[in-house]
Amino acid sequence: MGIVSVSMSDEMESELDSLQKEFGFSGRSEVIRAGLKLLANDMKQRSAIKGQVDALLVLVHNEHDSGVAKTRHKYNDSIKTQVHNHLANGKCLELFILKGNASKIKAMLDEFNSNKKIEFAKLIVS
């Protein structure tokens, strides 16, 4: 088994330790392997999305992020419904019901994921 060295902030290291305790992992490496498996599974599911799709996109972001509105307007033709809700601590929740070309919807997700103020983005495809 190979060894990979990873640099991370103190905050991320603390989260890693919390996840280890919360889920009963035997060590930090187990947490990282589990996270990598989840990410790889998401990528496999994402690559299987083709053609016309119906989907739900869930975002959590900083309340003062104007990038969400810019991206939303860019992909407006794929958005059928949007729900916006203010959360605690200056955050917002966005729910987008989408219908359209899979490659365009994946591009929208990529654009949201590249925004550092987006804390969470999850695409669910029917």
- 52-125 is a CATH 3.30.70.1150 domain: yes
The 10s digit of each residue's pLDDT in 108-119 is 999 999 988 899
Q: What are phi and psi of 53, to 5 degrees?
A: -135, 155
Could you read off the pLDDT of 55-104 as tens digits, one per residue?
999 999 988 877 888 999 999 999 999 999 999 999 999 999 999 999 99
Give domain limits for the chain.
10-47, 52-125
Render pLDDT for 14-37 as a digit per residue (tens, 0 to 9): 999 999 999 999 999 999 999 999
For residue 36, give Cα distances in angstroms to 32, 43, 49, 93, 126: 6, 10, 20, 25, 24
